[in-house]
Structure 1
Amino acid sequence: MPTLQGRQKQGAAPGVRGAARYTRAVRITSQDDTCEVTCVHPEAVERARAALPEPDCVGRASELLKVVADPSRLKLLSALHLGELCVCDLAAVVGLSESAVSHQLRVLRAHRVVTFRKEGRIAYYRLLDHHVTALIESALDHASE
């Protein structure tokens, strides 16, 4: 039964470049692949648990991130980051048909990411609020680093 025991000096885990440091002895058995230590820092665990959002909030946030994660929708949101645009202009920007853009905008509207106003027969879309703007900015900034 393979085990990892007695590693007390600080250093990276064996065979892993840039891994987190470790200072505690941990025994891992191949039988059930679990650690004998279940909680190394109980105070930190309790603080983290107390800070967790409510499950329904986590679910809604997860759905939002899934919606935003689609490349076509992210392109549309990036274009709307600069200001409102009509459907035909959005189609020209992202290289999709007006029908495809309208479909994606319906999905984004349903998830409260964009809103629109009508002027005659033309619908002008924009990002719903500063939270969406910050989310898109952060995602694009992070990706470009």
Structure 2
Amino acid sequence: MGMKDSNLDGKNDDMCEVFDAHEDAVNRVKERMPSEEEYLNLSEFFKIFSNPTRLKIISLLTVDDLCVCDICEALDLNQTTVSNQLRILRANNIVKYQKEGKMARYSLTDLHIEMIYKVGLEHILE
């Protein structure tokens, strides 16, 4: 156990010394817990945000809708790499595209995605 995990006096602050659960509090939180399937879906959703290239694409799309060429240029990546990541983002309902002639312009599916990205970034910058 590292210094982060315990006090200097050797006591572990995250241990309950009462040894008796607060039944009313436990029942309240259990009533609000998502189902096991919902936890699994949420876990899969957050995995999408675990790839730096996908995060970079999301960050660009928080500013403006862009075509693949724009994204490639902004990130200095090849089209295959960007297209593969966009495919994953599309399949997971993170981005959508609209055809404009031969061009597809990508955008975030909704404000929730932008909020998740911005709150995550804000958290790590604290």
TM-score (norm 2): 0.85
Aligned length: 120
Q: Which amino acid aligns with 2:109?
A: L
Q: What residue is the counterpart of 1:84 in the other structure?
A: 65
The counterpart of 1:15, out of the listed 10, 15, 18, is: 10
Q: Percent identity?
A: 34
Q: Separation in 2 of the partners of 1:14 and 1:42?
A: 31
Which structure exhibits the higher relative contact order, with contacts defined as CA atoms closer than 8 Å and separated by 6 or more residues?
2
State the match for 2:86 in structure 1. 105
The gaps in structure 1 that reach 5 residues or longer are 1-11, 25-36
Show the counterpart of 2:108.
127
1:57 alignment partner AA: E
> Structure 1 stretches (4+) deviating beyond 3 angstroms?
19-23
> In the TM superposition, what whole-angstrom CA distance separates every residue of 1:44-101 from its partner, at most 9, and x where no partner exists?
1111111111222221111110011111101110111112011011112222111100
More helix as a share of residues: 2
TM-score w.r.t. structure 1 length?
Answer: 0.74
Q: Which has the larger radius of gyration?
A: 1
Q: What residue identity is the alignment partner of 2:10?
A: G
Q: CA RMSD in A?
A: 2.0
